[in-house]
Each structure stands twice: as C-alpha cells, then as structure tokens.
Amino acid sequence: MGKGGNSEDVVADKEEVGEENMAAWLLGIKTLKIQPFILPPLGPNDVKVRIKAVGICGSDVHHFKTMRCANFIVKKPMVIGHECAGIIEEVGSEVKNVVVGDRVALEPGISCNRCSLCRNGQYNLCREMKFFGSPPTNGSLANQLPDNVSLEEGAMCEPLSVGIHACRRAQVGPETNVLIMGSGPIGLVTMLAARAFGAPRIVLVDVDDQRLAIAKELGADHVVRVSTNIQDLDEEVAIIQTAMVSAVDVSFDCVGFNKTMSTALNATRAGGKVCLVGLAQSEMTVPLTPAAAREVDIVGIFRYRNTWPLCLEFLRSGKIDVKPLITHRFSFSQKDIDEAFETSARGGNAIKVMFNL
C-alpha cells in the first residue's frame, strides 16, 4: 500500500523480474538520491504500477528544501513525489476495475474508510490518511486513462484536482464571476477548472508579468499586476473590480498571504465566497469583520475528494487542456532529478516540471 522500504532494511530482497525498483529518496535537506525502493507485497486489492510520468509539486520542493511542510516533518528517508500516472504491470486477486497494460492516473491518498469523516465522504480530511510523499508514507487509487489522454496529462490530474475541489466547494457555475489571486500552477489549474465549471468571467492577479502572460494565453478574461505592498490594497481592489466589470462572486486565494487574502475579502461582493487554497502563512492578519458583516464566507480546502473521474472526463472531452502547463521535462537520472528540483524551486517561467520515466 505505498509503504515499501529502503533496501538497507531488508537483506537481499530483490524483485524477481529483472531490474531493481529505483526511486528518488529524500535523505536530508536538498539531498535527493536515486536508490533502490523495495515494494511491499501485492495485496488482493492492489495493483503494481510502472510509473511513467511524475510532476513536481510545491510541497515536494518544500520538503526538499526544509524537510518539512506545514506540520508534516520528514524524520526518515522518504520517497518523494505524488503527482503521477503509469501502466499497470500486475493486479491483485480481487481487482476488477483494471487489467495489466491499462494506463492509469493515481490518486495519492489512502484514507482509513472507518472514521466518521470518511464515512461522511469527507475522506480528504481523514486523520489516518496515508499520502504519497507526505511523511511517513512513501509516494492507490488507480484511475484508468481514456485513450486520448496521455500519461503526462494523467499525472496532471493531481494538481488539477485541487482546482476542481476548490471550484466545487466554492460552488462555481455559469453565474459566478471568479477572481484568482496568484497565477502559479495552482492559480492556473483553478482557472482552468473554473472555466470548465462555466464561470463567465475570470480575472487573475499576480506580481509576475510572465505568469500573467501565461494566464492570458490560457484564457483569463483579464489580468492585473499587483504589488507585495499592503498600502496598495484599496487601489488594487478598485482596479480588480473594474476589470471584472460585474461583481466578484467568488475569489480564490491561491497564494495565502495577508495581502492576497485581504484583497480577496475586500474585492468580493456581499454574499459571495472567498476560497483559501494557498497555504502560505499560519497566522494571518485580515479584515475579517467587514467581510463577515457583508456575509462574505470563507471556504477552506484541503487537497481534494472524488475528483479523478471528473478530471479525466474534462481531459478526455477537451474541456480542459493542461498540456500548456507542462513547461519543463526531465528524465529519471540522478543529474536530471537535481536539475528538475532546482528548476521547479526557481518558479518564474517554470510552471509544471514533469519527469518522464
């Protein structure tokens, strides 16, 4: 179940079929090493997947740089990565939904399915969640790819799921004008999702011109360049509201700073919603009361739930095209892994960095 282990723990336990299974292990700060990765035995409901495409997420970079991400701390060597797709190589005895040779996208998190949150369908909030690349779980839930959806697009289902889940929680539809704070990978997948959910007008905001240009190419109705200076708040809110023409119904803060959240709260109309997607700061200083007194609700999101089928359908039908987000590609070698993480950490014109295995 995604556990497996370091080959130093077990004596001479190699796979029967030829090559050893290798993985990218996070051994310490900025120390990634391709080393053997022993797979656990195949349970009756498990599949063995040959991974073909893996994207790098901001949280992977955060683990890489600091050995922690929010309250997740990496205490032992851990295989990195969770945005992935591959080809089924073996299926467990009870598996009925996929066969060997199937191309699949993987949903990373294994929830307990016993607690009240799981039983209520809110499994993304399960406290016993075992999630790829979140300590202590090494990098499930295999969803079959339609023929016209590539393995790279399959790997993109994971970040896209964040945007989809956010749009659901904020109830985006044909009558919701959407404002998105932050034009990074998450802001962009949120924009693609919002459009697919029918949002009539989408405005994106960022400090970086390059990223705003990408947003415009991907279909933003309007982009606004903003600063990191809190003094500019009121002026920027006015510019945003002018750009939207009509009222801002839903705002997504895909960054998560005081300024972006304050802008979102002030720019959103009475009775609207602000969805906090970006998890940057813990304590935030925001104008909460005036927003609450206009019944602007704040909706939080954590990862996603039940999103893969919808993501795959959007990709299959072409309603969403994630391919432009994949800006850099690397192969699975020690040198490429180090370069890939540096590229992703750099940001700028690097949106999604993808490994092809």
Q: Is the dihedral of CA 347, 350, 351, 356 positive or negative?
A: negative
Interacting positions 100-119 with another protein (CB under 8 A):
116-117
| Contact yes or no for 132/1 (Cβ under 8 A) | no
The C-alpha atoms of residue 109 and residue 96 are separated, in whole angstroms, by 20
Note whether 296 binds another protein by CB under 8 A. Answer: yes
Examine residue 299 and tell whether it contacts another protein (CB under 8 A).
yes
Contact flag: residue 57 with another protein (CB under 8 A): no
What sign for the dihedral angle of Cα 101, 104, 107, 108? positive
Choosing from 242, 285, 317, 331, the residue that interacts with another protein (CB under 8 A) is 285
CA 130 to chain centre: 16
Residue 295 within binding range of another protein, rule CB under 8 A: yes
Stretch touching another protein by CB under 8 A, among 21-29, 124-132, 149-157, 327-335? 124-132
* Exposure of 252 in the CB half-sphere (CA atoms within 13 A): 35
Q: Which stretch binds another protein (CB under 8 A): 5-13, 131-139, 275-283, 349-357?
A: 275-283
- Give the single-character DSSP code of 25: E
Span from 72-80, 187-195, 280-288, 326-334 in contact with another protein (CB under 8 A) = 280-288
Q: Binding segment for another protein among 121-129, 130-138, 180-188, 319-327 (CB under 8 A)?
A: 121-129
Q: Is the dihedral of CA 93, 85, 134, 278 positive or negative?
A: negative
Q: How many CA within 13 A on the CB side of residue 263?
A: 33
Residue 250 Cβ, how far from another protein at the closest point, in Å? Answer: 13
Contact residue for another protein among 89, 297, 313, 336 (CB under 8 A): 297
Kindly state whether residue 2 participates in binding another protein, applying the rule CB under 8 A: no
Binding window for another protein (CB under 8 A); candidates: 1-9, 147-155, 189-197, 296-304:
296-304
The only residue of 120, 228, 229, 231 in contact with another protein, by rule CB under 8 A:
120
Asked if residue 271 binds another protein (CB under 8 A), the reply is yes
Stretch near another protein under the rule CB under 8 A, chosen from 17-25, 31-39, 233-241, 274-282: 274-282
Instruction: Compute the distance between CA of residue 210 and CA of residue 229 in angstroms, rounded to an integer.
Output: 19
- Pair of tokens at residue 348: 């700028």
From the list 1, 27, 95, 288, which residue makes contact with another protein (rule: CB under 8 A)?
288
- Cα-Cα-Cα-Cα torsion 171, 280, 267, 304, nearest 10 degrees, comes to -10
Q: Is 256 in the site for another protein (CB under 8 A)?
A: yes
Q: Is residue 12 involved in binding another protein (CB under 8 A)?
A: no
To another protein, the closest distance from the beta carbon of 66 in angstroms equals 17
Closest residue by Cα to residue 137 from 110, 163, 164: 110
245 binds another protein per the rule CB under 8 A: no
- Min separation Cβ 48 and another protein, Å: 32
Residue 121 CB neighbour total at 10 angstroms:
9
Q: How many residues bind to another protein according to rule CB under 8 A? A: 38
3-state secondary structure of 273: strand
Alpha carbon separation from 57 to 92, 114, 155, 162 (Å, rounded):
30, 29, 11, 12
Q: Which stretch binds another protein (CB under 8 A): 130-138, 181-189, 282-290, 334-342?
A: 282-290
Site for another protein in 155-174 (CB under 8 A): 169
- Are 298 and 279 in contact by the 8 Å Cβ rule? The answer is no
345 sits near another protein (criterion: CB under 8 A): no
165 three-class SS = helix
CB atoms within 10 A of CB 130: 18
At its nearest, how many Å lie between another protein and the CB of residue 120? 8
Give residues in contact with another protein (CB under 8 A): 70, 116-117, 120, 122, 124-125, 127, 169, 256, 261, 270-271, 276, 279-302
